[in-house]
Amino acid sequence: MRAVVHDRYGAPGVLHLAEVDRPTPREDEVLIRVVATTVNRTDCGVRSGRPLIARPITRMLGIGGLVHPMRRILGSEVAGVVDEVGASVTQFSVGDEVFGVNAGLYGAHAQYVCVRESAPLALRPAGVSFTDAAAVCDGVVLALMGLRAGDVGPGTRVLVYGASGAIGTAAVQLAKHVGASVTAVCATKNLELLRSLGADHVLDYTREDVTTNAETYDVIFDAVGKFSFRRARRSLAPRGVYLATDQLTNLVLALATARGRGRRVRFPIPPRYTKADVVLVKELMESGRYRAVVDRCYPLDQVVEATTYVETGQKTGSVVLLVDADLA
């Protein structure tokens, strides 16, 4: 089968197409014929191998090696068709159309991938394309982790910084779903998009510094790792919560502020991907209460171009790789 592989760390150019053996599902796995997958921030971080200090951590998580990559084939989000099932599988059958995330194991940048039956995997939402189904799970799970850590609920005043990315667009929609008041911060080109996703207020960071107005928030969700706690704290309510999605320094801050009575940092790691969260987004999409945001689609053989674009930091929502364009 065709797959995108990388045998060393480096720039997007280390990625290349190769013929590799098709995987065989274990007793508790399904073999999925991949229709669509994504290139996300985690793929880029694992492939680059940077920063060097993080490699021992990724090695412990089974993601990366100290010198060479442990996972040659990246890609965690997947939408496709079940082609084969292991002997003990009962939840899925050959021919089922599924979507989900192969958390920590990757392998979706290929024509076939094996995923455990117990993984965050569910039947594709009715009426939703493979392209859109592939684009949602990672952002939704990471957004839910943050919103839950921040105890976001009815009436919570939430600011989402970097609201136009995969995590940000998920955070806006999910916060509105639980009844929060949401302020979305993004660039000029995405203001209308965020309004259409339900944001109560939108701020253009190219024209306004959110830290200089008089507004305060119960929760500030930094969805892109570019709005530090130091900058955010002046806009937090006295018992406000800053939610981090990146930067290891936030882990230290989370520990340091955990017992205090003032503003707190929460950094929910490692990510916990569950089948229940994938089922939740399936139900929300089927009822019209959640929609995918797809910036660009690339064929599998343009993975270098797709990855290069993701690394500009300017993508809106998700970037999708089409493995089987006829079905996508």
Q: pLDDT tens digit string along 270-293?
A: 889 999 999 999 999 999 999 999
Q: Output the pLDDT for position 57.
A: 44
Q: pLDDT tens digit string along 112-159?
A: 999 999 999 999 999 999 999 999 999 999 999 999 999 999 999 999
Q: Output the pLDDT for position 113.
A: 98
**Count of beta carbons in the 10 Å neighbourhood of residue 144:** 22
- Reference 280, options 200, 173, 169; nearest CA is 173
201-204 and 181-186 strand pairing: parallel
Q: Output the pLDDT for position 45.
A: 86
Q: pLDDT tens digit string along 241-262?
A: 999 998 888 889 999 898 878 8
What burial letters (b/e) apply to 244-263, b meaning 16+ CB within 10 Å? Answer: bbbeeebeebbeebeeeeeb
Q: Assess contact for 131 and 328: CB atoms under 8 A.
A: yes
Q: Output the pLDDT for position 177.
A: 97
Q: Output the pLDDT for position 64.
A: 52
SS3 328: coil
E strand map for 258-306: 264-266, 294-299
Q: Output the pLDDT for position 24.
A: 97
- Reference 155, options 218, 210, 214; nearest CA is 218
Q: Assess contact for 247 and 225: CB atoms under 8 A.
A: yes
Q: pLDDT tens digit string along 181-198?
A: 999 999 999 999 999 999
What residue ranges define each of the domains in the chain, with the CATH number in brackets? Answer: 2-135+292-322 (3.90.180.10), 138-266 (3.40.50.720)
Instruction: For residue 22, give Cα distances in angstroms to 25, 47, 65, 102, 232.
Output: 10, 22, 23, 17, 48
E strand map for 234-282: 236-243, 264-266
Q: Output the pLDDT for position 55.
A: 40
Q: pLDDT tens digit string along 45-71?
A: 889 876 443 444 444 444 555 567 888
Q: Output the pLDDT for position 227.
A: 93
Q: Output the pLDDT for position 260.
A: 78
Of residues 44 and 55, the one with the higher pLDDT is: 44
Give every CB contact of residue 149 below 8 A, 6+ residues apart in sequence.
241, 243, 266, 268
Q: Assess contact for 43 and 315: CB atoms under 8 A.
A: no
Average pLDDT, the chain: 93
State mean pLDDT over 90-112.
96
